[in-house]
Amino acid sequence: MKNTWRFGEKEFHYIHKVLDSGFGSGTSGSMNNLFEETFAKKVGSKYAITFNSGTSTLHAALNAVGVGPGDEVITTPLTVISNADVIIAQNAIPVFADINPDTFNIDPEKVEVLITDKTKAIMPVSLYGLCCDLDPLLKLAEDYNISIINDAAQAFMADYKGRPIATQAHITSYSLENSKHITTGDGGIVVTDDEKLATKMRKFGSLGYAAMKSGDGRIRLNKEIFQDPNYKRHDEFGYNYRMPEVAAAIGVAQTERLDFFVNLRIEIAKMYNEVVKDCDYIIPQQNPHGDRHTYWTYAIKYERDDIPWQDFRRKYIEFGGDGIYAAWALCYKELLFTTDTFKKRAPYYYKDVYYNEDNLCPIAESIQPKLMQFVTNYGSVGEATNKVNALKQTIEYFD
Q: For residue 233, count CB atoms less than 10 angstroms from its CB and return exposed for 0-12, middle for 13-18, buried for 19 or more.
A: exposed
Residues 6 or more apart from 41 whose CB is under 8 A from it?
none
Domain ranges of the chain: 9-257, 260-327+363-398
Q: Indicate the SS3 state at residue 58.
A: helix
Q: What are phi and psi of 202, to 5 degrees?
A: -65, -45
pLDDT at 72: 98
Integer Rg of the chain from CA: 22
Residue type for position 187: G
pLDDT at 63: 98
Cα–Cα distance, 203 to 241 (Å, whole number): 10
In which order are the strands placed within the sheet that holds 93-96? Answer: 47-51, 188-192, 171-175, 147-151, 119-123, 72-75, 93-96
pLDDT at 27: 64
Residue type for position 314: R
**CATH code for residues 260-327+363-398:** 3.90.1150.10
pLDDT at 38: 98
Residue ranges for the chain with pLDDT beneath 50? none
Task: Select 9-257's CATH number: 3.60.15.10, 3.10.129.10, 3.65.10.10, 3.40.640.10.
Answer: 3.40.640.10
Active site residues: 180
Cα angle at 77 between 75 and 80, to 5 degrees?
A: 95
Q: Do the two domains 9-257 and 260-327+363-398 of this chain adopt the same fold?
A: no
Nearest CA to 318 among 382, 399, 397? 397
Q: For residue 389, count CB atoms less than 10 angstroms from its CB and return exposed for 0-12, middle for 13-18, buried for 19 or more.
A: middle
pLDDT at 212: 81
pLDDT in tens, 7-48: 999 999 999 999 988 777 766 678 999 999 999 999 999 999
pTM for this model (two decimals)? 0.95
> Are the C-beta atoms of residues 173 and 149 closer than 8 Å to each other?
yes
Strand partners, 74: 95, 122
